Each structure stands twice: as structure tokens, then as C-alpha cells.
Amino acid sequence: MSSYRPETICVQGGYTPGSGEPRQIPIIQSTTFKYATSEDMGKLFDLEADGYFYSRLQNPTCDHVAAKIAALEGGTAAMLTSSGQAANFFALFNIASCGDHVVSSSSIYGGTFNLISVTMAKMGVEVTFVSPDCTAEELDAAFRPNTKAVFGETIANPALTVLDIEKFAAAAHAHGVPLVVDNTFATPINCRPFDWGADIVTHSTTKYMDGHGVAVGGAIVDAGKFDWMAHADRFPGLCTPDESYHGITYAEKFGKEGAFITKCTAQLMRDFGSTPSPQSAFYLNLGLESLHVRMKRHCENGQAVAEFLAAHPKVTHVNYCGLPGDKYHALAEKYLPNGSCGVVSFELKGGREAAGVFMSRLRLAAIETHVADARTCCLNPAGTTHRQMTDEQLAAAGVPAGLVRMSCGLESGEDLIEDIRQALEAVD
Ligand SMILES: *Cc1c(COP(=O)(O)O)cnc(C)c1O
């Protein structure tokens, strides 16, 4: 299936029914699976045979959908998680634990920033944040002997910076560690980080992959290229026997292609249980079937709205890498030649107050903390998610008080622009 083009994989990847079997991926809504003998089941526990025994670890519906995402990203193995937060936590904690260190772009989703800088710090994992725009030398200087991974987002939420994936991959590999890229906003339709040297890709499938605001979920995909055994001292969890799993050495038994996801399932999913329901995986698959059609439209609407705003006298600044004047336009031309995403952010001359008036006048765009679904929505971070910060702190964090983040949905672009035009008329 991975030899097909993305459009075909979106529709048919991950599941090939046999004669007389359901055409659509069946929802196997069962916690457990029956076996004829104890020995048969024992082989599954020893990871000696493939199969299902308990849906906290693996479920056929979830695995079909994970296989589709693996094929879309061009990876060798994938797993679903119950949220994007769980995906990023598992992807990092699978290789970095107490006493270890990670290097991360500072321009990442707030939830991930908190996960790494606060919660993982409590678990003994240290982090050094670097600007996504740092030089190769600055990036190099962030590494320590105990660094285990590098992390960044293809298009950052909400800053909309574009990651120079090749620069980050080169630095990670020079230090013998993998690059983990959160590809939520670009989706594999617009960028495949593995093609540029990333080793692990994560997703909040809650966003464009689901695309309808129906189910929270996440995914982790392995490119199958990182040679754990060549850096065995650095990755004992993958390269020495796992006593909690019958003495298996993941990198030996499952190779580069399967070690990361097998360990992540066998250890982290087993112990933390952040597993999606088969019903949620089914919804996610419905979203994936039209991802290639929807992304094109999200990008067209994003581009049209960004161009309209950039020319409007009441708007001081627009962030959208599809605009020729954007700071990230050159990187977008390289990594996102077919478009970036439907999320645009912009600043109003009238600041926080103007943002409030503007948003209250919108008829189509709803005020929500969500992004990336079929319905257009918007948010003023200063008045909501970043409410505790002063205007000075907001400016320093790159989130000015008058900033509005708008996630362009799948409505008519003309209607969206008309809605924005009339709402701006109400602003001084
Ligand atoms: C939303 C988001 C997350 C967190 O995902 P949830 O599904 O909400 O847990 C992680 N990364 C990015 C880029 C996101 O936009």
C-alpha cells in the first residue's frame, strides 16, 4: 500500500478486506480476545506471536488506522494513542527517562511545552529549549552527553513558525540521537518529515486528521531508519534486555523497523494505558479518508484570508508562511510546497480591546480553543489561554495582546472573508 500515492492511501490504506469481509474497517469493540489454549496466549505475552489479547495494548481497529498513518508518513510502524499529549509524552519517554536530557524547539504547542518543561522535569528529564531560528552552532551547543532526543513542530501551534527539519535532523544525528517531529499542522499531505531526516513523527489526530472535531487522539510513527544498536550505550531501554518483558532486547528482536513502536506499546501503553477506543479510531479513519481533499481547501481558505487581512488597514501584522513577505516563506517553499495549513494569526491595531470586539461580531467563525476542523474558529490568546499574562509579558512571549488566531475551515472562502470584513468594520 505504501507504494501508492497519498490520495489512495488516505482512502484505502491500512486495511485490505478479504473476500466476504466488511468493506469498511470494522469496529472491534471488544476489550479482550479468546484463545483455545493457554500456550497460544502465552506466545503473545512473550511477543513470540502476533495477535491480540487485551485492547489496552492493541486492538485491530486501532492497528488498521495506525497502519494507514504509517503508510501516509512513509514509516515502518505506528501506534495510536488517546491524545496528542500522550503521543508526544510516549515518543520522548520511550527513549529519555530520569537523568536524561532533550533538546526542543521553543516554538511548540503550549501543552507540549508544559509537558516537557514541568511534568517531564518532575520525572527527572531535563530540557534545553532553542529558538527554531537558531544557528547550527547554537543548536550544537544545546547538546549534553545525556541528550537522548531532539523535538520540534513542522508548523508550530500557535506561533506558525516553520521548522528547518534538515538543520535539526543534522544536529540530532551528529550527536547520535533521533529527531522527533510533531507533524500535526502540516499533516503528511503537506509535509513528510521522514523525507527530510526526521526519525519519529507524532500527531495530535484531534486536529486535521480527524478534521471534524469529533474525537481526541494521537499517533506515533517510526521511520525505521534510526540505528539504535549503533548507539547502544545511549539507548539501554532499546538495546539491553527488558526484564519487565521476559528479557527481550527490542532493537535485536524487532530491528530498526519495529523496535521503537514495539517497546512503546509493550512498556508505555501497558503501564500508562493511554489507549484510544476502537470507536474513536473508526472516526479518525473517516477523517483520514478525505484528508487529502480537505487539506487543499483549508490551505486555499487560509491563503485567501491571510491575503485579505494583510491588505486591511486595521491589521498591523499577519503570520502565514504562504505570504511572500512572511519570515518563514522560504522554509515553507522548501518543506511545504503544496501549502501549509488553514491556521492564520494576525494582530489588530486596536490591541486586546479591538480583538474582543472583532471576534464578538463574527458570524461564521466561532470562539473556541480548538483549531483545524471543518468549521472556522478563532481565539484571542491574551483574553483566554494566556489570560494571566500582562501586555508586556505577552509581547515578550511573541503573543501580542491584539493577536487573533483564526483556523480557516472548509466553508466558502468568500463567505469567510465577507464575515471578517463586516466584523472589522465594527472595530475602531
Ligand atoms: C493540539 C496539539 C497537541 C495536543 O494534542 P491533544 O490531542 O489535544 O492532546 C500537540 N501538538 C500540537 C501541535 C497540537 O496542535
Q: Is 182 in the pocket of ligand 1 (CB under 6 A)?
A: yes
Spatial separation of the C-alpha atoms in residues 272 and 313, rounded to whole Å: 51
Q: How far is the CA of 86 from the centre of ligand 1 (A)?
A: 9
Spatial separation of the C-alpha atoms in residues 153 and 265, rounded to whole Å: 23
Q: Which domains does the chain possess?
A: 6-286 (3.40.640.10), 292-424 (3.90.1150.10)
Minimum CA distance residue for ligand 1 atom 5: 84
Q: What is the pLDDT of residue 421?
A: 98
In the block, which residue shows the cell 531501554? Answer: 237
Spatial separation of the C-alpha atoms in residues 301 and 289, rounded to whole Å: 20
Q: Is 109 in the pocket of ligand 1 (CB under 6 A)?
A: yes
In the block, which residue shows the cell 551528529? Answer: 174
Q: Is 278 in the pocket of ligand 1 (CB under 6 A)?
A: no
Spatial separation of the C-alpha atoms in residues 97 and 238, rounded to whole Å: 12
pLDDT digit string (tens) for 217-238? 999 999 999 999 999 999 999 9
pLDDT digit string (tens) for 86-145? 999 999 999 999 999 999 999 999 899 999 999 999 999 999 999 999 999 999 999 999
Q: Is 187 in the pocket of ligand 1 (CB under 6 A)?
A: no
Q: How far is the CA of 183 from the centre of ligand 1 (A)?
A: 10
Q: Is 242 in the pocket of ligand 1 (CB under 6 A)?
A: no
Minimum CA distance residue for ligand 1 atom 12: 109
Q: How far is the CA of 20 from the centre of ligand 1 (A)?
A: 38
Indicate the residue type of 254. Answer: F
Q: How far is the CA of 109 from the centre of ligand 1 (A)?
A: 7
Minimum CA distance residue for ligand 1 atom 7: 84
Q: Which atom of ligand 1 is nearest to the CA of 218?
A: 7
Q: Is 218 in the pocket of ligand 1 (CB under 6 A)?
A: yes
Q: What is the pLDDT of residue 388?
A: 77
Q: Is 82 in the pocket of ligand 1 (CB under 6 A)?
A: no
Other beta carbons within 10 angstroms of residue 277's beta carbon come to: 17
Q: What is the pLDDT of residue 2?
A: 58
Minimum CA distance residue for ligand 1 atom 1: 204
Q: How far is the CA of 369 from the centre of ligand 1 (A)?
A: 11
Q: Which pLDDT band holds residue 393 (cuts at 50, 70, 90)? A: confident
- Would you give the DSSP letter of residue 349? T
pTM over 0.95: yes
Of the chain, the percentage scoring pLDDT greater than 90 comes to 87
Q: What is the pLDDT of residue 341?
A: 98
Q: Is 112 in the pocket of ligand 1 (CB under 6 A)?
A: yes
Q: Per the structure block, which three cell numbers stand in for 56?
A: 489496552
Q: Is 84 in the pocket of ligand 1 (CB under 6 A)?
A: yes
